[in-house]
Each structure stands twice: as C-alpha cells, then as structure tokens.
C-alpha cells in the first residue's frame, strides 16, 4: 500500500491517491461479474451501475473496510470531523461519445462546497484512462462553492455562446474552455479521494473498450460521502473567492 497526498492546481486542493488500496482486489472483479447492472438515468454517468445496500455482501464488507481504513486519513487530510456514506456502487462506462449526454463532455462537479466527498476505486485489470481535474478558464474556478455557483454557470452559458456545444467525446487534456490541472491514471486497485466540488472528468484513450463485461470494461467503485454541516472544515480564501 502506498498513500500520497497531492495539492493540485493554483488553488491547491488536495487529492489522496492510494495504490494497492484493498487486499484481494481481483475478487471484486469476479463479484461484479456476478451482479446485475442497470443504466443510470439522467446525465450523471455515461454507463451502467450496480448499487450496494447493507444487505450486499461481500460488497458491504469491502466498503466498510475502505471507510474504516481510510476514514482517519480523509479526516486528517480534508479537515472534516465526521462523515456519512451517501451511496456506493460498481460502475461501468459503456456509453460511446455520441450516445452520452452533452454534459458528460465537459468537466463537472458533484456538489458545491464541502458537503460531499468522492472515493473512486479503479478495478479495471488493464488501465483504460483515468481521472483528470480542471480549471475553468473563463472564471478561473477549480472548485465550485455555493458562492461561485451562479458565476460558474453564467460562465458555462458564455462558453456555449463563444465555442458552441462540445463535440461528442470525453475530455482529453486542456481545451479553449478548460485547463487541465492534474491527471491520475486509473491503475488497478488505485483509490482516489477528493472533494466532490472539484471540477473533474473521466479521461479515456482512443482505443477505449466500452464493454459491459466487468472483466474487460472500465470497472470502478464509486462511493460518495455526505459531510454534515457542523463537521465541515472552515472555508479557505480560495473557497470563498468569487
């Protein structure tokens, strides 16, 4: 196991990277292969998911291990004092660029402020891209707080007027609207932990396999944590700047 903490971008937001995050990760691929996946409604994810419940096993034991093992590291790194699991699921990216919603073509945030954190566990035996983080050029924002939300969405409208609708495809480095600030390869059994307010996007190679087979496709586990308001860290200058 190797744990790193990286400060990314001009604003210096932290990302935790854990390699060899859980023991016997190969078994999770076999578990996923035995589960039923379903399409994700709306525009939030371009593919299939299998949601975990407390009755799911060994999935529930697996995420319990992650939260117990890395909970103290998250609290020390990000400064929150408590958290609650909001959701957990296996995910497979299966929608090709022309099938995906236009909003999946640009970086996104999960929720404003310090209310939500994401844990992304890569389970693809052979890396098929990774996850990148971005700065929105027009506003300079890398993280979207409640104070920044309106200005950011106005910036998106201005981008649409200036550049048109993004072409089908997923983000691949910087473009006229976004500057890439960091990229982390989706290595097998690598865990990324970051604020859901950071602008981020999956990145996939040109030969990406849009497979619904967990043994061949881009299999990840996606966990989201809710941070109670009373447990959230105080905002920094970068967080409150509008």
Tell me the DSSP string of 2-14: EEEEEEETTTTEE
Q: In angstroms, what CA-CA distances link 152 with 1, 15, 140?
A: 38, 22, 9
Burial-class residue 165 by CB neighbours within 10 Å (0-12, 13-18, 19+).
Answer: exposed
- pTM over 0.85? The answer is yes
- Mean pLDDT along residues 43-68: 91
Range of weakest confidence among 38-47, 109-118, 147-156, 203-212: 38-47
Domains of the chain (ranges; CATH) run 2-228 (2.60.120.620)
Q: In angstroms, what CA-CA distances link 208 with 19, 130, 142, 156?
A: 22, 11, 27, 28
Q: 235: Cβ–Cβ under 8 A, 6 or more apart, which residues?
A: 113, 114, 145
Residue pair 204/141 in contact by the 8 Å Cβ criterion:
no
Q: Is the pLDDT of residue 241 over 50?
A: no
Residue pair 226/84 in contact by the 8 Å Cβ criterion:
yes
Of the two residues 174 and 207, the one the predictor is more confident about is: 174
Q: Is the pLDDT of residue 151 over 90?
A: yes
Closest C-alpha to 91, from 207, 181, 214, 236 = 214
Residue pair 118/110 in contact by the 8 Å Cβ criterion:
yes
Q: Position of tokens 């299966």?
A: 94
Residue pair 101/46 in contact by the 8 Å Cβ criterion:
yes
CA gap 18, 106 in Å, rounded: 26
Range of weakest confidence among 123-127, 156-160, 169-173, 232-236: 232-236
């Amino acid at each position: 196991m190797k744990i790193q903490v990286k400060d990314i971008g001009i604003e210096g937001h932290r990302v935790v990277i854990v390699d060899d995050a859980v023991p016997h990760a190969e078994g999770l691929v076999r578990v996923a292969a035995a589960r039923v996946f379903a399409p994700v409604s709306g525009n939030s994810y371009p593919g299939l998911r299998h949601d975990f419940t407390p009755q799911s096993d060994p999935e529930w034991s697996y995420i319990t291990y992650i939260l117990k093992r890395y909970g103290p590291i998250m609290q020390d790194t990000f400064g929150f004092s408590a958290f609650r699991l909001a959701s957990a699921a296996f995910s497979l990216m299966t929608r090709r660029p022309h099938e995906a919603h236009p909003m999946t073509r640009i970086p996104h945030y999960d929720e404003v402020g310090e209310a939500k954190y994401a844990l992304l566990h890569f389970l693809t035996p052979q890396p098929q891209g990774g996850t990148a983080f971005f700065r929105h050029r027009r506003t300079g924002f890398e993280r979207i707080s409640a104070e920044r939300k309106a200005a950011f969405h106005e910036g998106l409208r201005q981008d649409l007027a200036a550049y048109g609708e993004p072409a089908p495809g997923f983000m691949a480095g910087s473009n006229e609207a976004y500057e890439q600030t960091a990229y982390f390869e989706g290595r097998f059994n690598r865990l990324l932990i970051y604020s859901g307010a950071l602008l981020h996007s999956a990145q996939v190679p040109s030969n990406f396999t849009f497979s619904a087979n967990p043994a061949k496709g881009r299999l990840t586990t996606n966990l989201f944590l809710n941070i109670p308001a009373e447990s959230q860290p105080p905002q920094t200058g970068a967080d409150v700047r509008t």
